[in-house]
Structure 1
Amino acid sequence: MGNAALPARVVGVVGPSGVGKDTVMEAMAAARADVVLARRVITRAAGAGGENSIGATDAEFDALVAEGSFALWWAAHGLRYGVPRKALQQAGARIVLVNLSRGVLDQARAAFEDFAVLSLTADVQTLAQRLAARGRESEAEIAARLARAGVSRPAGEDVVEVANDGALAATVAAALEALQPVRA
C-alpha cells in the first residue's frame, strides 16, 4: 500500500512563548513535502502575532463552531483558537503540524486517532532574548512568560521533547527523526 492511503499523523506542537514553535514548524514543512502546517482560526486579526493564522470575529468563530468546522477548539489568553477539519486533510500529508496549547492536549488525544506531541524547549536565557527581540511585550509581560516557561511540561508516551537552543537545522532534524524515524 502506498503512502497516499495512510492517514496523516497529527502532531501538536507545544512549548513556552519564545521557544520558536512557528519557526520550527515552518522549517519542518520546508524540509519535507509530506509535512504540512494546519492554519488555526484565531479571534484576532489574521497574521497578528507573527503566526500565519486565519482571523475571525467572535461571531464568525461562533458560526464555525456551530457548523462543526473545527476538529478541536479552545479558549486561552482572552482569545479562541480552532483547528479546521479541512486543514487536517491536505493532499500528500503524512504529518500535519498544529500549534496547540498545552491545556488542550487531552482533548487533542481524544480527537485525533494518530496523535503525537512535539514539546519544544529552550533555556531561559534563549527564551528571554527571543521574547525581547519580538518587541511585542513589556519587560513585566516577558518576566511573567518566563516564569511560566518551565511549568507544566507535557507528559505521556506520545510526547517527543526536542531542545531548540541551537541551530534550527539540528532542531528540525531531531524533531523529524523522533516523530517518524527511518525504518529499515
Structure 2
Amino acid sequence: MFQKFLSVMALLGALAACAPGGTGQSDPRPDILRDYQLTGLNFAAMADLTISEDNFIYPHADIVWHGDVQGDRIAQIAAIFQEAAARVQADRSDITPDTKKVVVDVTLIRFHGVTRRAEFTTGGVHHIVFDLTVRDAATDAVIEPTRRVIANLEAWGGNINAEIDGQGVTQKIRVTDFLAKTLAEQLR
C-alpha cells in the first residue's frame, strides 16, 4: 500500500512538472522596455551541425532528436520552433496600437534531446542552444542584436517517463511547450 502511495506521489509530482520549466544561461538581454508582438520566426541552422541517430545514452553530436519518426531532423526542429512561435503569437491578449511588431531570427547551434534509450532509463536534459535576433517586422531593422540563448529542460526517465508518455505527454510536447515559454521570456 505504501509503495503504491509513493508511486502515485511520484506520478503527481511529475505531472505537476508538466508545466514547462527549465534553466538557461543566455547572453544578457539589452535593458530596454519591451512591448513586442511576435509576427514571425525565421529559422536557420548552422551548416556544419552533426546529427546522430544512435540510440546511446549520450550520443556525441550537435543534433540528437528522437521525438519524431526518423527523418529530416533539422526540418523537424524548425517545425517545433515554428509551432512554439505560433503559440507565443496566440498568447498575446494585451496588444495595443503601440505594440511593436517583431520578427525573430533563430539560428540553431545545438539541439540535444534524449534518445529512446535514455528516455526509458536514465532520463537526461534537453539542451537547446540558438542565436536570437529581434527585428522590426515593418522595416527589418535590428531592434536587439544577436544574442545566444541556452535553454535546458529536464528529461524524465524510467517509469515516470513511461507513465507520462503513456498519457500523451511526449518529449515533443514538453520541448515545444518549453520553447514557447523560452521565446516568450526572451521577448518580455
Same fold (TM over 0.5): no
Q: Which has the higher strand share?
A: 2
Q: Which has the higher helix share?
A: 1
TM-score normalized by structure 2? 0.28
**Larger Cα-atom Rg:** 2
TM-score normalized by structure 1? 0.28
